[in-house]
Structure 1
Amino acid sequence: MKHLSTLPCMRRLCPNIDKEDGLETVLEVPIPEEMFTGMGSNVALRWQNMLTWMKAQTADKLASPIIAARFNELRFLLYLVGSPLIPLQVQLGHSIHRPVRDCSIEASTAKYIVQQYIAATGGQPALNAVQSMCVTGQVKISASEFHQTDDNIEVKKSTEEIGGFVLWQNNPDLWCIELIISGCKACCGSNGKISWRHSSNQQTPVSTGPPRPLRRFLQGLDPRATANLFLDAMCIGEKIINDEDCFILKLETSPAIREAQSGPDYEIIHHTIWGYFSQRSGLLIQFEDSRLLRMRTKTDDDVFWETSTESVMEDYKYVDGVNIAHSGKTRVSVFRYGEQSANHKREMEETWKIEDVDFNVWGLSAESFLPPSDVMKKQES
């Protein structure tokens, strides 16, 4: 892929700045070399700038409007592009087969396509052998400004943010991701009872909700969860994606799920998912979803947010018998409108690359996915 050739290798160790012969420290989240080299003219200065930027994420430093605006922008990109969630609970069982009796031809065709996908990603025995995973990768995120227009917007490469992530999973409801871009860190996870997210900005409260899967799993990382997700889909036709003839599977989120995933200040009006499966290879080539959210305001002037996300997966490689997508590109379009709000549109792009995938990680348990302490205290009270 030409657009991934610029993604550099990952830096995993931090040198001992105080003692030249001291032991290096393993970084919690590997960072791309390009992100590191952009922070100074020499190694010592780069690490010092990195530490200074991370330490700036305190209450007194965030009083600065410039720093606060910068973190709000980075947090927006981290949540909406780097670690979005899907408002569904993927039911994970060892049997992915479903009877096709009493099904419409669209539903039975979708089940057949899913079976071909299972075979293309390694087969059911290989998928069932995966009990947990650890994934490291890197991302580049570009974004436009908000524009008062309905026209297409070209994403400005000058706003490119670079970062890396570490993702842990025990099953679709037990997962955690740590993601850093340009010195700002976000942590998101699910312990099977709630999902939560927070950024390194200490003034930002931890947000929680029902358990739901991370969208990144469905971008070629977790074939078993993807197969379970599309078992209830409908085959609605065919389309050519990157010169590949693909079947289109469509899945609508039910009203009951939308209501359960909604909160006191927002309501999910609809959430639709599409999967484009290659007729030649059986693999998932493109994954799309569209969501309409109504935000309630104190003045009863509701604001609507419509988000459309499209991910193209490439570079499938086998890891322990499971065929995993190792790179791709995601494009996000956000449209905000309402009776008392002017129409605003924004476009974002994420180029991502998977560095390492390890299955069946030793020592992972439910305790490895506990939410932050203040969330735990609320659950106990």
Structure 2
Amino acid sequence: MRSRVALEPLAEEPGGGEEDAARRRTGLHAALHRWARLLSGGGAAGDDARSAPDLRVLLSVLACPLSPVPILPRLPRHVASSAQYIIEQFRATTGCGKLDDGAVKSMYASGRVRLSMLQEPSGGGGGGGRGGHGHEGSFVLWQLAPSMWLVEMSVAGQSVAAGSDGRVAWRRTPWLGAHAARGGSRPLRRALQGLDPVTIASIFSTAEHAGEKQVDGEDCFVLRLDVGPSVLSSWSDGTAEVIRHGLTGFFSQRSGLLARLEDSQLTRIQSPGVAAMYWETTIASSMSDYRAVDGGVAVAHAGTSTAHLARFGVGVRAARVVTRMEESWTIDDVAFNVPGLGPDAFIPPEEVRRSRSYGAAIAAGK
């Protein structure tokens, strides 16, 4: 599982005495198994030995999660509910109507990140007990309307990449290789973190108004989206069942801007003859420093994401083992209508295109 927070299916890394066991695990189950090994230390000892596994978990969860909801076809804009009113206010405040008319076809953004494991406040067991130092790095993101994107991130010598060719999303890491994600093409969650107002408006265009809440001292309208059962089923993989996934946006009543983004996914692992185990991944992102860029469109230039990765069920020593991690980011540059950027730049790696999961995803989309 990978965070999309959403956690996408990963192929188990080959080799070692676990080869036979890995073949018996499905992609999502294999990903969770590997995360459990990394979080438990994998037999390593000492701060230096912990650094690489910690960084792998941080990059797996925070570097390039997907939105749980795809970009929806553009609908006639009319205000018929409080949720639609909130989105229209967001469009007006960010100026993204200037992008809606098709004048902007592509986008480029670059920035800096700092990733770190956090100490669990309760001092409980599990991965949350490691404070650790932060890992600094940078990322670049390219997008081509409406659904092609590519992101690359390099942190402390480790590089990961993810992308979408408009039909299938994929991810590549040095330790797991490249693979296609289940569920077809979806936006990068990072774009929803105040970076792409058009995508944010599209994603929340069918959301429900779920009340009001104060976030960091700001009164906000709450918009909620829950992924339907049929979509959750398409994400499930053999013994791994995605039970629920929801996305919540908090829009400032004062400014109309997206102030906070939260999503949570619960996955159940049930192998034959083994008690079920549950994984819950939650990511909360706070956005700030909205500034106008090309054409006067307001984009968030800074923010922080905090992720909680929880395991519970029979066989877990503690009632609930929680790992907490954080990413802070700063946007250095944003530009629209990048010269020469076309569909060829978003072709997935050959390893992805040759995979059965990619072929199945293409067939399902026809």
Match of 1:84 in 2: 65
Q: CA RMSD in A?
A: 2.8
CA-to-aligned-CA distance 1:166-214 (integer Å, 9 cap, x gap): 111113531111111110000111112221111133xx23222222211
Amino acid at match of 2:191: F
Cα distance change on mapping 1:359 and 1:86 into 2, 3 Å = same
Cα gap change, 1:193 to 1:187, in 2 (>3 Å): same
Higher mean Cα deviation, 139-148 or 65-74? 65-74
* Equivalent in the alignment of 2:339: 362
CA distance in 2, matches of 1:369, 1:263: 26
Larger Rg: 1
- Seen in structure 2, the aligned counterparts of structure 1 residues 186 and 152 have a Cα distance that, compared at 3 Å, is closer
2:292 paired with 1:310: no
Q: Match of 1:337, as an amino acid?
A: F
Aligned residue in 2 for 1:103: none
Indicate the larger mover: 336-345 or 66-75.
Answer: 66-75
Per-residue deviation at 1:143? Answer: 0.4
Question: Retained in 2: the 8 A contact 1:293–1:304?
Answer: yes
Alpha-carbon distance in structure 1 between the residues aligned to 2:79 and 2:289: 32
SS of 2:66's equivalent? Answer: coil
Q: Look up the equivalent residue of 2:110 and give its one-letter code.
A: T
Residue of structure 2 in register with 1:97 after alignment: 77
List alignment gaps of at least 5 residues for structure 1. 1-63, 101-107
CA contact (8 A) 2:126 2:321 kept: no
Residues 42-88 of structure 1: per-residue CA shift (max 9 Å, x gap): xxxxxxxxxxxxxxxxxxxxxx9789965443222112012111222
Comparing 289-298 with 349-358, greater Cα deviation is found at 289-298
Q: TM-score w.r.t. structure 2 length?
A: 0.76
Q: 1:272 to 1:299 in 2, by over 3 A?
A: same
| Greater shift in the superposed pair: 134-143 or 188-197 | 188-197
Identity of aligned residues (%): 36
CA distance in 1, matches of 2:99, 2:307: 33
Q: Which residue of 2 aligns with 1:338?
A: 313
Amino acid at match of 1:85: L
- Unpaired stretches in structure 2, ≥5 consecutive residues: 1-42, 361-366
1:198-237 to structure 2, matched below 5 A, reads 198-201=172-175, 204-209=176-181, 210-237=184-211
What is the aligned partner in structure 2 of residue 60 from structure 1? none
In 1: Cα distance, 2:203 partner to 2:161 partner: 24
Partner of 1:326: 301
- More displaced stretch, 179-188 vs 301-310: 301-310
After TM superposition, give the deviation of residue 311 of structure 1 in Å. Answer: 0.6
Are 1:124 and 2:97 matched, yes or no?
Answer: yes
What displacement does 1:152 show? 12
Relative to structure 1, is the Cα distance of residues 127 and 290 closer, same or farther in structure 2, using a 3 angstrom cutoff?
same
Name the aligned partner's letter for residue 142 of structure 2: W
The alpha-carbon deviation at position 141 of structure 1 amounts to 0.9
State the AA in 1 paired with 2:91: I
In structure 2, the residue matched to 1:114 is: 87
Alignment partner of 1:259: what SS? Answer: helix
The within-5 A match list for 1:139-218 is 139-144=113-118, 149=124, 156=131, 158-171=132-145, 173-201=147-175, 204-209=176-181, 210-218=184-192
Counterpart residue identity of residue 54, structure 2: E
